[in-house]
Structure 1
Amino acid sequence: MKTRNINLFLLFTALVFGFLSSCKKDDADIPISTKPEIGTLEIGSDNNQTVKAGSDLHLEGDIVAEALIDKIVIEIHQEGGGNFKLAKVYTDEKYVGKKNATFHEHMDIPSEAPAGQYHFHFTVTDKAGNSTTVESPLTIQAADAKVAFKLVFTEVDAHAHGDHFHDIADKSGVEPISVSFDNSGKALGDGHAHIKPAGVYKIDFKQFDAAGQEIQGQYIKDKATASLYKAFLTGGAFVLNSNSTTSSGAVFQTKETTYGDGSTVTGAVETTGITSYFTAGKDNAGEKDVAFVLRKFKDAATKATITRADWNRADYVAKYPGEDIIQLSFEMHAEEGED
């Protein structure tokens, strides 16, 4: 029995010393003077050294580390006197302890990163403490402005009569015209609505929440809610159709037919302008700076006093107490030959 225990002890001791000896041998095999090698490193889509704030930076390249990878560090700092910096350390098991690895990651660039020129550092450190760094210029572009509002112009068949339209019908083969706006109401892109002077357009007002869901229905969810809101089209010094000597003036007719709860909108004064119809008219051909305004009144009685001829009043603020909760400013180009 004692002999058996002694034999087991000797076997265990031999295994321990063998393991330690192996570790020492492995450590001794690490070429401590050989630095990691970084192959061609792709920085950005198609290696364009460019990324947009609010998106991610594509990075890909091959690494060879004879002493095995310990960590990979990325540092990005602003050039030209700026102090914005980014840093990230990668210690994933797919890299650490590996001699050969393909680094492929997408590094998030926050939307608040200032647009401009940056310096990029990619450093690989091995288990022997050796490091190799690849540097590159990097351009961070401004983040895309989020679309908070949109006006969609869709040409329809209709006839202007005084201050309103008759015989409104959809028109086939029509491509809608959209103007998008940021949260402040500033137009994005070229900020222009190119329309035909004599064309009649359905205008759909859209508002989006942070998730991109449409929320403009909140203003007409029922009659009681809608009684506090009305849309105006301000600026432009339009010749109104009702004042035109040629019957070629402008008409802006707010025209929802139902509230969000399914009940019917009755009468001209009940409409709000989440859906409306518009023509500039030939009397107003050319370029105009205008604004689509959604005004909230101090009391429900105010809306009932607004007629179809009041949509372009210069004194609407004083005339109808309340506040403009939305104001979308853009250029309207009512020109012949527009599609």
Structure 2
Amino acid sequence: MKKTSIFLLAAVATLTFQACQKDDPVPETDQEEVGTATLIFTEVHREAHGDHFHYHDEEGGQVETVEFTTVNGQLVPQEGHVHLSKGKTYRLDLQSTDFLGRRSEQTFVTRDDIHQVFFATTPASEISKFRYEYGDENAAGQNLQVGVTGYLTVLETSNTFVMRYVMRHLNPGVKANITAADWNNPNFLNFAGATDLDLRFEMHFVDGAGHGH
């Protein structure tokens, strides 16, 4: 009888352990941990409406893409050179996947209160040769100032330089003190938080549609 009781207790314990294993949720990979990223520049027509602009895709317009994959823990461009034309405006879209291959860029928009993109250039003087406007919107059409979608207008030609697209994960409350005009703030790393993305690639602003080196 004693042996039978021990056997029954062991069987119940085994079944209970298996049930717990089956019911425990599998930990989810945070979708802010990016495994691949793509930046897409699509030529658009910029139309003035009072104190703001409307943007419309140009039929047959220029499209430039730069893709990044993870190498030794860093996102590096597969082909790192992008050329854009002076006087033109481009919609800049981020597409990203996490390490499980799931599309993840919408995570930054959903958490708009703690995310914002900033730009930097090397040399630093090249930052003055373009302007940027955040283009993310919520369901009510309000601008969210994130940078998953935005509009870049080329003001001057340039030599080849290094462009940085940096998605900051800001500490709670920090974004309340940051404006849309801070997109090119050279001290953006002083905004308390961490960096989710730091995409670096070669950029070249050319005169007209040609790729002049």
Confirm or deny a common fold (TM above 0.5): yes
Structure 1: which 4+ aligned runs deviate by more than 6 Å?
Answer: none
| Structure-1 residue corresponding to 2:44 | 156
Secondary structure, in 3 states, of the residue corresponding to 2:189? helix
Instruction: Give the partner amino acid of 2:68.
Output: F
The structure 2 residue matched to 1:266, chosen from 142, 167, 174, is 142
CA deviations on 1:47-70 (whole Å, 9 max, x unpaired) are: xxxxxxxxxxxxxxxxxxxxxxxx
In 2, the alpha carbon distance for the partners of 1:280 and 1:154 equals 13
Percent of residue pairs identical: 24
Aligned to 2:198: 327
Matched, 1:185 2:75: yes
Q: CA deviation at 1:328?
A: 0.4
Superposed CA offset, 1:208-236 (max 9, x none): 23454421111122xxx210000111124
User: Which runs of no fewer than 5 residues in structure 2 stay unpaired?
Assistant: 1-34
SS at match of 1:309: helix
| Contact 1:186-1:328 at 8 Å conserved across structures | yes
| Alignment TM-score, normalising by the size of structure 1 | 0.46
2:81 is matched by which residue type in structure 1?
Answer: H
Please report how far the alpha carbon of residue 160 of structure 1 lies from its aligned counterpart in structure 2 after TM superposition: 7.9
Residue 293 of structure 1: how far off its partner (Å): 0.5
What's the CA shift for 1:206? 0.8
Residue 315 of structure 1 is matched in structure 2 by 187
- 1:311 deviates by 1.2
- Aligned pairs for 1:105-254 within 5 A: 148-158=36-46, 166-183=53-70, 184-189=74-79, 191-210=80-99, 212-221=101-110, 225-236=111-122, 237=124, 238=126, 240=128, 249-254=129-134
**TM-score when scaled to structure 2?**
0.71
**Partners in 2 of 1:234 and 1:165 — Cα distance?**
24
**Aligned partner of 2:155: which letter?**
G
Structure 1 residues not aligned, in runs of 5+: 1-146, 241-248
Q: Structure 1 residues 229, 167: closer, same or farther in 2, change over 3 A?
A: same
1:281 and 2:155 matched: yes
Normalized per residue, the structure richer in helix is 2
Work out which of the two has the higher radius of gyration on C-alpha atoms and give 1 or 2.
Answer: 1
Q: 1:149: Cα distance to partner?
A: 0.5
1:118 maps to which residue?
A: none
8 Å CA contact 2:85, 2:209 repeated in 1: yes
Q: Partner of 1:61 in structure 2?
A: none
Q: Indicate conservation of the 8 Å contact 1:194/1:338, yes or no.
A: no
Alpha-carbon displacement from aligned partner over 1:263-293 (angstroms, at most 9, x marks no partner): 33525xx3211101101312x5332211101
Q: Is the 8 A contact 2:121 2:127 kept in 1?
A: no
Amino acid at match of 2:163: V
Name the count of aligned residue pairs: 170
Match for residue 294 of structure 1? 167
